[in-house]
């Protein structure tokens, strides 16, 4: 099972019998059994046949649309699961409730500890200049459990994230790439381009996991409610950003799998995006990362990161439904 990524502009996504077929310029780019597909992501422009739309909805396979630079546009979403009790518990915890505060504490703690983990791994290579950033992140982690205001927890998350990205350039071991600060819309350098695209792909995967479990992805706790914003998906993404997307981006640069020639510059918007060939390389690395196995610290068994997305969603559901006392974020050590 896997996600199908379609990054060829003006491709036609059709269906023949029980197979998903992608064509462009009279050439077949992909022909795969529908049973092997658990998600479809379109980057750029593509035409999707009505037969494919019907098939994806019936099989409850999500279809997401992104720009070539990785900006999330929206998705075709199968109907929510019938588990109304998960959504009831989710809504009852909304606001400044003890449950919401606990969830936000856990999410912020998980994200910052994984930021620290990422810096510590590089520090082991004698990169002692990372010590200041690690210390700043630890200072943001320390008061989390005693902080009972969600806005204050957002402040700690922002402080720890700023410290992490101030040190991010130290994680690059390829002199052909540089990083100054996090730039989102649009990304104006290759490193930010990889991060933006990776986070958009991660949002697709997390939102799919939330839908499987039965959540309403638009009601979150750390991220404020905004029309059209999948706040809960953005919440659950936080602990995965450094250990999935940042890890893939650093692998692509440091190995190196990508070179500056794999990026194109838009003169009008100043945006930087991957070339067609570069995008294929990055998508392959991202999919490989999702299928990488590790020992889940809570479940105490081997699982893939793809499986961990749903595991964390189910752990969150169990906490909100009072089946467990805590929500444990995924933290690597």
Q: What is the pLDDT of residues 163-204, one digit of tens each?
A: 999 999 888 888 889 888 888 878 889 999 999 999 989 998
Q: Give the integer Cα–Cα distance in Å for 7 and 43.
A: 5
Q: Average pLDDT in the 115-127 region?
A: 77
Is residue 38 packed enough to be buried (19+ CB in 10 Å), middle (13-18) or exposed (0-12)?
middle
Q: What is the pLDDT of residues 220-260, one digit of tens each?
A: 999 988 887 889 999 999 999 999 999 999 999 998 888 98
What's the CATH code, domain 84-320? Answer: 1.20.120.920
Domain boundaries of the chain, sorted by first residue: 2-61, 84-320
Q: How far is CA 112 from the centre of its chain?
A: 16
Q: Give the integer Cα–Cα distance in Å for 140 and 135.
A: 9
Q: pTM of the prediction? A: 0.83
Q: How far is CA 161 from the centre of its chain?
A: 16
| CATH fold of 2-61 | Ribosomal Protein L15; Chain: K; domain 2 (3.100.10)
């Amino acid at each position: 099972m896997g996600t199908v990524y379609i990054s060829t502009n003006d491709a036609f996504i059709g269906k023949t019998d029980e197979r998903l077929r992608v064509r462009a310029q009279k050439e077949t780019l992909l022909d795969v059994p529908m049973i092997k597909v658990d998600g479809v992501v379109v980057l750029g422009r593509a035409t999707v046949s009505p037969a494919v739309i019907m098939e994806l909805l019936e099989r409850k396979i999500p279809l997401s649309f992104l720009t070539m630079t990785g900006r999330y546009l929206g998705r075709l979403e199968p109907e929510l699961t019938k588990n109304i009790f998960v959504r009831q518990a989710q809504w009852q915890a909304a606001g400044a409730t003890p449950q919401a505060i606990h969830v936000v504490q856990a999410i912020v703690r998980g994200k910052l500890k994984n930021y620290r983990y990422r810096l510590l791994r590089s520090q082991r290579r004698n990169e002692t200049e990372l010590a200041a950033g690690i210390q700043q992140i630890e200072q943001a982690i320390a008061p989390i459990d005693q902080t009972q205001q969600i806005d204050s927890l957002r402040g700690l998350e922002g402080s720890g994230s700023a410290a992490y990205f101030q040190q991010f350039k130290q994680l690059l071991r390829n002199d052909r790439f540089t990083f100054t600060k996090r730039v989102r819309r649009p990304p104006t350098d290759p490193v930010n381009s990889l991060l933006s695209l990776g986070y958009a792909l991660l949002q697709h995967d997390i939102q799919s996991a939330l839908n499987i479990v039965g959540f309403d992805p638009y009601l979150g706790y750390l991220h404020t409610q905004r029309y059209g914003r999948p706040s809960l998906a953005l919440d659950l993404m936080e602990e995965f950003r450094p250990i999935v997307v940042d890890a893939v981006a650093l692998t692509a640069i440091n190995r190196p799998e990508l070179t500056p020639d794999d990026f194109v510059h838009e003169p009008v918007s100043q945006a930087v995006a991957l070339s067609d060939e570069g995008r294929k390389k990055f998508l392959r690395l991202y999919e490989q990362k999702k299928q990488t196995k590790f020992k889940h610290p809570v479940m105490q068994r081997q699982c893939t990161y793809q499986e961990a997305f749903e595991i964390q969603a189910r752990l969150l559901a169990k906490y909100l439904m009072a089946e467990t006392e805590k929500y444990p974020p995924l933290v690597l050590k």
